[in-house]
Amino acid sequence: MKFNPANNIQDLQYFGEFGGVNPSISDSSTYTFISAKTMLDTFEGNTDGCYLYSRHSTPSNLYLGEALAAMEGAEAANVASSGMGAITPTILQICGHGDHVVSSRTIYGGTYAFLKNFTPRMGIETTFVDITKLNAVEAAITPTTKIIYCESVSNPLLEVADIKALSVLAKKYNLKLIVDNTFSPLSISPVQLGADIVIHSLTKFINGSSDSMGGVVCGTSEFVNSLKSVIDGASMLLGASMDSLRSSSILKNMRTLHIRIKQHSMNAAFLANKFEKEGLKTIYPGLESHPSHALFKTMMNVDYGFGGMLTVDAGSLEKANALMEVMQEKNIGYLAVSLGFYKTLFSAPGTSTSSEIPEDERKEMGLSEGLIRFSIGLDNDIERTYKIMKTCMLEVGVL
Ligand SMILES: *Cc1c(COP(=O)(O)O)cnc(C)c1O
């Protein structure tokens, strides 16, 4: 049977305490025990269905984690208070002093800064590679390498990782393949393609209303439990736990994710085609001109399209800034970082989300100054949006 992540979410059934159609929110930080012996067993991790303290787990967090694990087809998942709150403990759970990471060089700025500037303080070194060059990935692997880290569709250049091929490499060298799937939920299912661990920032498409932060780590039950261990679990001990009120609201938003992703993808594909025809340098995995278009097609769950992210090169930072300001004035969207909102969001990564990456490295990876990253919104009338965008582009001389 074909893997269908939206069906997996749809088929979950949780009732609330009084027969409510939504699960009850557990509005407590701590939990009572009838017997003192059960408390000890729970501390030692021997009791299922018993809650101890909300940094460890809560019913609401477990519901959301189950839904996300179902979406990815993973055994288990652990939610966190942000995407970085999912990424950093995952890396630290696997790597210690003397260990090595092979990472894509085009990744989220925060992840890049963590691997480049922060983990070396703990004796963890990272080699950054062009993830689309498998021989470069393999050549970077050393006897101390523990992780291959990448994003399925990378931020902001929308490079596509060949997850199947990377997972073959990971197995050959006994490494964990970690894939950040934030840009392509539903469209790509990395666990189905061989990834060991899948991470999302829930802050983006999955929650989709730009009102909450959240993150998740999906993987084997063994790994997810290790993150939550009271003895040496990085999630438990570093403490980026999600609040139950947040997890219950993100779970409700997840139920419309498939509808939103289809609309984001349809709108982004429409605009990308138009921009390219106008002669603008446009990057979108759904365009045949995208170097990994064919690869994306072999990996995707076709119902959900190529995603809502695209980039356009405005030619210079001045033009990019002028265009973004005019588009905001005309209410086409907002000049803001982040993604997955009902409105289109745009920013120039070179001076915002990727400014952690030094200028010479940005140049080398093709992250030009005039690059604008768009998270295309849920616009009902994308032709109207396009017409207004075009007048903005003509006004500032991008067209
Ligand atoms: C935003 C983002 C993150 C970080 O998530 P937060 O929720 O902001 O902590 C990680 N990876 C990608 C690809 C992102 O876009």
Distance 41 CA to ligand 1 centre (A): 36
Ligand 1, residues 81, 82, 84: which to mutate, most atoms within 8 A of Cβ?
84
Ranges for all domains in the chain classified under CATH 3.90.1150.10: 258-396
Tens of pLDDT, residues 56-69? 999 999 999 999 99
**Site residues for ligand 1, CB cut-off 6 Å:** 82-84, 108, 110-111, 151, 155, 180, 182-183, 201, 203-204, 213, 215
Beta carbons within 8 Å of 59's beta carbon, 6+ residues apart: 23, 24, 26, 51, 244
- Looking at residue 360, its pLDDT comes to 86
Q: Compute the radius of gyration of the chain from its Cα atoms.
A: 21
Q: Residue 135: what pLDDT?
A: 98
**pLDDT value, residue 313:** 96
Domain 5-254 part of CATH 3.40.640.10: yes
Model confidence band, residue 207 (pLDDT cutoffs 50, 70, 90) = very high
What angle do helix axes 257-277 and 382-396 make, rounded to 10 degrees? 40
Do 114 and 67 touch, CB atoms closer than 8 A? no
Q: How many Å lie between the centroid of ligand 1 and the Cα of residue 201?
A: 5
pLDDT at 354: 78
Mean pLDDT in residue range 132-147 = 98
Looking at residue 347, its pLDDT comes to 96
State the greatest distance between any 2 C-alpha atoms of the chain, in Å, as a whole number: 73
What does the alpha-carbon distance between residue 115 and residue 148 come to, in Å, rounded to a whole number?
12
Q: What's the confidence (pLDDT) of residue 40?
A: 80
Query: Mean of the pLDDT values across residues 100-119?
Result: 96
For the domain bounded by 258-396, which CATH number is listed? 3.90.1150.10
Model pLDDT for residues 339-352, shown as the tens digit of each residue: 999 999 999 988 87
Q: How far is the CA of 183 from the centre of ligand 1 (A)?
A: 9
Question: Mapping DSSP to helix (H, G, I), strand (E, B) and coil, where does residue 201 land?
Answer: strand
Q: How far is ligand 1, taken at its centre, from the CA of residue 47, in Å?
A: 33
Provide the pLDDT confidence category of residue 47 given band limits of 50, 70 and 90: low
Pocket test of ligand 1: the residue of 87, 152, 155, 210 to mutate, having most ligand atoms within 8 Å of its CB, is 155
- Averaged confidence pLDDT in the chain: 95
Predicted confidence (pLDDT) at residue 396 exceeds the cutoff of 90? yes
- Mean pLDDT across 350-366: 81
What percent of the chain is modeled with pLDDT above 90? 88
How far apart are alpha carbons 334 and 325 in whole angstroms?
Answer: 9
pLDDT at 46: 56
Average pLDDT of 315-339? Answer: 97
Whether the pLDDT of residue 99 is over 70: the answer is: yes
| Residue 313 host element (H or E) | strand 309-313
DSSP 345-379: EEE-GGGTTTTTS-HHHHHHTT--TTEEEEE----
Nearest protein CA to atom 7 of ligand 1, as residue: 83
| Segment among 105-109, 279-283, 364-368 with least mean pLDDT | 364-368
Q: Which regions of the chain carry the CATH code 3.40.640.10?
A: 5-254
